[in-house]
Chain A
Amino acid sequence: MKPAPFDYHDPATLDEAVSLLGRLDDDVKILAGGQSLIPLLNMRLARPTALVDLGKITELDYIREDGGAIAIGALTTQRTVEHSQLVRERLPVLYEATRLIAHPQIRNRGTIGGSLAHADPAAEYPAVALLLDAEFKIRSASGERTLGAADFFVTYLTTALGPADVLTEVRFPLLANGVGWSFIEMTRRHGDFALAGAGATLTLSGDECSGARIVLFGVDATPVRAKGAEQALVGQRLSEELIASAAQIAREETGEPLSDNHASAEFRRHLAGVMTERALTEAAGRAGWTN
């Protein structure tokens, strides 16, 4: 297996990359860590006429706390996120999500921006970005714009990014003190893409649930909020029964998941409910709930 021929560009700066992308035709692909793109090239499922390799652009490799958010440069590797003390202490849900991505060899090369721009519906970063309502900074020859996670993911492997756009930074808002969180998934084998997964954040006032956010992944064309389940929780006294009924709603809210040789649509829908129940229980525990 060999990629089809392509024209190769390796700009040294973001400005250079953006102006290059402005000049090239629409058949160009951006190469970051390559952990999703190069398999597609090898199998010739993707045959771009040109690659713009961002690998030399060191200015997009950073993690910092900035105005109530963790800002991460798009070319930061998953391994760097995993090893970041800042992420671990200030936004452990992002650390947990990172640990679930593939294997160490993949995380050594794979970047956060690449993973988000690739937008696999079963991948962890798109889901955690939607869970935390992350902001995406995008540069093109015509300037900079910012999109929220809800507007960024469009459908399978498709985002709001145009062919000349470069995702430069993603900003994950910090969770307020006391907010419980969870991020879990079910895989056939350790490191595989999730059959289904769930992320949850939960806030308690006494024993009443005062805020909840639930994101499911692997069950639809993009990660999705389970809004009905969220609404069923808020304003109610938290109990095992309440969590179970929210999970049931999440399961029913799930659209038509893929059926493939890993799992049927029905099994994925079932898993969406199970993952929701477990994620809510874990998040509630971290929010101080003692049932």
Chain B
Amino acid sequence: MDELMTDNRKVKVTVNGVKYEASAEPRTTLVDFLRAELGLTGTHVGCEHGVCGACTILMDGRSVRSCIMLAVQADGAELTTVEGLSIDGQLHPIQEAFRESHGLQCGFCTPGFLMTIFELLEENPNPGDEEINEALGGNLCRCTGYQSIVEAVKIAAARSAS
């Protein structure tokens, strides 16, 4: 067998409104690309097989798991990561709600939860319990527990409605 071609590819993405262009081996996962090539380390690498949700980001407005996507698959896409939530040092209302309701302790899972909730509230500004549980079902938290995270969703939803 010939030696494998693993030529780097140019990947162009817009992340949190900023355009980036970097080269990546085709086997580079999107989360590794964000962290290692673009220096955006807010997105966390958890299970690396699509179970825990820690690496959740938005791609063209939709929540995706960046550990089970290749960077080359995101070429041309618009991405939002946790770094894009706060503006001018002001926490996003979802982040505020997490702080108030003690929605985090160690914080490892938090970026993934925040991005999942961001998508949920964009689509459904006033979700019921079942809809919140359905949305959060794909994110694991091992220390805080889910009650205070669900509470944070409700606080953020109520605040954006008022």
When the two chains form the complex, which single residue of A5, A105, A108, A109 contacts B6, counting CB atoms closer than 8 Å?
A5
B137 within 8 A of A: yes
A residues near B68, Cβ cutoff 8 Å? 34-35, 38-39, 42, 109
Residues A1 and B135 in contact in the complex (CB < 8 Å), given A34-B70, A108-B64: no
Residues A51 and B63 in contact in the complex (CB < 8 Å), given A34-B68, A105-B56, A106-B138: no
Contact check, B67 vs A49: say whether CB atoms are below 8 A apart.
no
Report the minimum CB–CB distance from A99 to chain B (whole Å). 9
B69 within 8 A of A: yes
B62 within 8 A of A: yes
A6 within 8 A of B: yes
Encoded as 1 (CB less than 8 Å from any A CB) or 0, chain B from 54 to 67 comes to: 00100100111101
Contact check, B137 vs A103: say whether CB atoms are below 8 A apart.
yes
B49 within 8 A of A: yes
Contact check, A109 vs B69: say whether CB atoms are below 8 A apart.
yes
B15-23, B24-32, B80-88, B100-108: which one contacts chain A? Answer: B24-32
Contact check, B29 vs A105: say whether CB atoms are below 8 A apart.
no
Contact check, A43 vs B72: say whether CB atoms are below 8 A apart.
no
A3 within 8 A of B: yes
Contact check, A35 vs B50: say whether CB atoms are below 8 A apart.
yes
- Near B by CB (< 8 A), chain A positions 2-18 give 2-8, 10
- Near A by CB (< 8 A), chain B positions 120-158 give 133-135, 137-138
A residues near B133, Cβ cutoff 8 Å? 190
Q: How far is the CA of A3 from the CA of B72 in the complex (A)?
A: 14
Contact check, B62 vs A108: say whether CB atoms are below 8 A apart.
yes
When the two chains form the complex, which single residue of B25, B26, B32, B134 contacts A51, counting CB atoms closer than 8 Å?
B26
Contact check, B72 vs A38: say whether CB atoms are below 8 A apart.
no
Chain A, residue nearest B1 (CB): A49
24 pairs from A and B in contact (CB 8 Å cutoff): A1-B49, A2-B32, A4-B27, A5-B27, A8-B9, A8-B26, A10-B72, A31-B70, A34-B68, A34-B70, A35-B50, A38-B70, A39-B50, A42-B48, A42-B68, A49-B1, A53-B73, A102-B138, A103-B138, A104-B138, A105-B65, A108-B59, A109-B68, A191-B138
The 6 closest A-B pairs by CB, nearest first: A103-B138, A8-B26, A39-B49, A38-B68, A5-B6, A3-B27
